[in-house]
Structure 1
């Protein structure tokens, strides 16, 4: 999306729909439709965390890449003094917070809800509605909107990361204050065409028209198919995988590979 083309908040879906959609669509239908990765993860080999690396579209996994037509990413900014330290501090707080939630039952006790628990998923999002509302107002790295659990051969819920969110009309300057844009990309989902009630099965399949992986990207094309068009969907979001060794993997946009070690 080019600068200056953002719609105002009134054109977006209402807050309740954001929360409902995050629980039932992004982390449900998207997981079902995404194809598994066919590539190995590249690991950093330096001690500590090397904040010199960043990730771009070319390094996305197939699931995220398949949503390229429905996604807006923040632009990479020149690194400023203090950016490395700020990013490292967020990662350290995320990692410390995650210690409690290695036992997923503690996440449930603290108000996190599993999105689509009956579906077999490689990655499960445990979403906290109270944290999501708070994230719209200010950033607290100890209160992630979502906890990200990986399904492994030995364990269904193995914690690998967190997801932070910001209100959908947040500016890039505001996002930069949370996690520097010289270090990582925030992203949001755009150009969403919701299927009419009698065509919801068309979210899935090899060549879907509707949804995050659909071929429809414009209001005109969506309305021609009797769909409902949303220029922007959900909130700004970013995934953080603190157990990785370098910033490219810590702030990876590839959810198809495991970030647990």
Structure 2
């Protein structure tokens, strides 16, 4: 199943739906629940103590994902606002990490209606990461490779086909993980920012 393709060849987005008052109320309740439950992770050390680990450590990113694989497994079966798959941080003053939101996931097999029941499609657009070229296993240092000023691997790479990925000795992944949605509940009170959908998982 696939949604509407963004201009980015590495990203698939769910289609938008007309909203209702119930959608707006459900989204607002989710944000309040997140803020109450996740506020304690304002200090990233608390997140690490609870088992969240940084995705792509050592790689500079616009948004840092601290992921709980236990929560990711649970999300395959049910949605729980207080157990996000990832906590989202941005770099603040003097290199400190500032909690800005959370990421929720759903299995790739989920229908649009199932995604809507988790987080309303009228408010947020779920996304999938597709057509990634990754470094070979055991060669994480290759994440930093560039060609013609652009990354060879990851979401900013121009490589989006299996043939092109093989040509640079990479591993082609047609779909990475499944459906995801970012909720920037700690970054702003503006719904456009909360539900704006920053989809970055790689380098700047």
On whether the aligned pair clears a TM of 0.5, the verdict is yes
Evaluate the alpha carbon distance shift between residue 204 and residue 90 of structure 1 in structure 2; reply closer, same or farther with a 3 A threshold.
Answer: farther
RMSD: 2.9
Contact map agreement 2:183 2:197 (CA 8 A) in 1: no
Q: TM-score, normalised by structure 2?
A: 0.80
CA distance in 2, matches of 1:2, 1:120: 30
Provide the residue aligned with 1:190 in structure 2. Answer: 130
Residue 252 of structure 1 aligns to a residue in which SS? coil
Contact map agreement 1:131 1:143 (CA 8 A) in 2: yes
Provide the residue aligned with 2:197 in structure 1. Answer: 253
User: How many residues are matched?
Assistant: 195
CA distance in 2, matches of 1:116, 1:220: 25
1:27-38 equivalences in 2 (<5 Å): none
Provide the residue aligned with 2:76 in structure 1. Answer: 136
The CA deviation at 1:254 is 3.6
Evaluate the alpha carbon distance shift between residue 172 and residue 192 of structure 1 in structure 2; reply closer, same or farther with a 3 A threshold.
Answer: same
5+ residue gaps in structure 2? Answer: none
1:121-200 equivalences in 2 (<5 Å): 121-154=61-94, 156-195=96-135, 200=142
The CA deviation at 1:98 is 2.0
- 2:185 equivalent to 1:242: yes
Contact map agreement 1:87 1:180 (CA 8 A) in 2: yes
5+ residue gaps in structure 1? Answer: 4-56, 58-64, 257-261
The CA deviation at 1:207 is 2.9
CA distance in 2, matches of 1:222, 1:154: 37
- Going by fraction, where is strand more abundant, 1 or 2? 2
Contact map agreement 1:166 1:237 (CA 8 A) in 2: yes
Q: 1:44-76: CA deviations, max 9, x gaps? A: xxxxxxxxxxxxx6xxxxxxx7xx111100010
The CA deviation at 1:112 is 1.4
CA distance in 1, matches of 2:78, 2:155: 28
The CA deviation at 1:124 is 2.5
The CA deviation at 1:114 is 2.8
Contact map agreement 1:203 1:214 (CA 8 A) in 2: no
The CA deviation at 1:149 is 1.8
The CA deviation at 1:92 is 1.1
CA distance in 1, matches of 2:40, 2:144: 40
The CA deviation at 1:209 is 4.5
CA distance in 2, matches of 1:182, 1:170: 17
